[in-house]
Chain A
């Protein structure tokens, strides 16, 4: 998903869940920050390296693809952008190596989504925002995995956009990342085909371009893992479900409900706004920031500010070392570390080594390690 949904739509969902304007801004800012907290951002702030939540394109190009490099990439992308749906999925007639990658397929309403939301409970607005980013991405990025893998994430010529009137048009991708997609004429870019199984070009939904991030788009294709089964991706439906599920999750995080269960969507909260939300989601455009902003301002009656973390960065830099965790970004970094630890640990416990070794966050070993690191004044993955 893009900033229009992660920031502005999350703001709207937070407000509908009962948060104030200021709290909704904080949640939205944290949700969008997940797409910006790269190694360069962390290095600039001299923040804990374990809090990295994304990697920019240039950083990915430079990333190692040896065993530890791939584990590092998988830890980031599977924890924040491609949350696995079923770590114990079964598949016939395949090797363990393949099965491990297959089990990292992202999808909504898995047990990890529940764990993500519950991990964020009581950890503040930053954790809530981070959890909403992860939750929303399980809908947009479903059917792709957060590990570089040709045999899982590849697509081929069989890629058709489905228009509202039911007609279909084959999509012929081009490989020019500098040129924006021409949604009016259905001209899209994707990552170039690489025969290397572990090439970073085969990470996530690169082979499908930005289509998963366009809320208006419906398409069908044959994923490499699908065994010639056709997948129909209905983004308008998925984005609407993501929005309603975020409201439900944030009601839980805000104390409005006692439990968070998967497969539950708060459609009551959007009663009276369905048409407006449908209009925003289904309008054919590259990003819907202004539409979501207008909707948010209508809900709250207050201007929704642009996403800007300059103030939070100044706060973090200016804070004393022992006070840094109490700043806005400090709390975000703590939430990110907790999320990554939780997901990596679940993947490791399922017998899958693609995210590397993991110590349980609840263990005394982990606490001793973190104490030592805190004293040494360094973060560590």
Chain B
């Protein structure tokens, strides 16, 4: 009874694997939170820009009913887009958190994380930054644009971290399986 019945598993690979699993879990949390924030921001945008919407409805050609119907269609479409975005974020985030906690999931969420990075970076590269901020400064929305870009950057970082950690975990698992197989063969 004086000796411990079990020994701790603290090889370098075990420790690294736990660290990457924890980081994967945290990045999953980050993507989930940012996805929820995106949905909240969409709802807030509709509320904040309601005066612009009312102005649109009262000005220009077309009957009130036509404009209202158009507005309703656009709103529903926008809501569907944001709902889809939220669903994608939640899917990626919850999958990453599950894998971080040791469960097995298909790596499709990593592909989607890579797509998020691509869809975040490509539009930024396609548009000149200076021009973008210049326009936004004219419209006195520079602050919100800057904050939005920061959050997008954070999201990209979280997705990149997720992909990196998942890859490292897979490598460590493969290395262990090879070691076990070699040991069995010997």
Contact = CB atoms under 8 A, between A and B. Distances in A.
B19 A228 contact: yes
Contact of A232 (B8, B14, B15): B8
B10 A237 contact: no
A222 interface: yes
Contacts of A241: 2
A237 B14 contact: no
Contacts of A240: 1-2
B19 A232 contact: no
B4 interface: yes
A234 B6 contact: yes
Tell me whether chain A's interface is mostly helix, strand or loop, or mixed.
mixed
B7 A158 contact: no
B6 A230 contact: no
A236 B7 contact: no
Interface in B1-46: 1-10, 14-16, 18-19, 22
B22 A228 contact: yes
B158 to A, nearest CB: 20
Contacts of B19: 228
A196 to B, nearest CB: 19
Nearest to A227: B15
A353 interface: no
B50 interface: no
Interface residues of A, number: 22
A341 to B, nearest CB: 34
B101 interface: yes
Contact of A278 (B1, B14, B18): B1
Contact of A220 (B3, B6, B16): B6
Contacts of B1: 236-237, 240, 274, 278, 281
A162 B101 contact: no
Main secondary structure of the interface of B (DSSP, over half): loop
Contacts of A158: 18
A218 B8 contact: no
Contacts of A222: 18
A166 to B, nearest CB: 7
Contact of B10 (A157, A218, A229): A229
Contacts of A218: 5-6
A157 B26 CA distance: 13
A166 B6 contact: yes
A194 to B, nearest CB: 18
A134 B164 CA distance: 47
A232 B14 CA distance: 14
B18 A220 contact: no
A281 B2 CA distance: 12
Interface of A: 157-158, 162, 164, 166, 218, 220, 222, 227-232, 234, 236-237, 240-241, 274, 278, 281
Closest 6 CB pairs of A and B: A228-B18, A234-B4, A230-B8, A232-B8, A228-B15, A228-B19
13 contacts: A162-B5, A166-B6, A218-B5, A227-B15, A228-B16, A230-B8, A230-B9, A230-B18, A231-B8, A232-B8, A234-B6, A241-B2, A278-B1
Given A166-B6, A230-B9, 8 more contacts: A228-B16, A228-B19, A228-B22, A229-B10, A232-B4, A232-B6, A237-B1, A237-B2
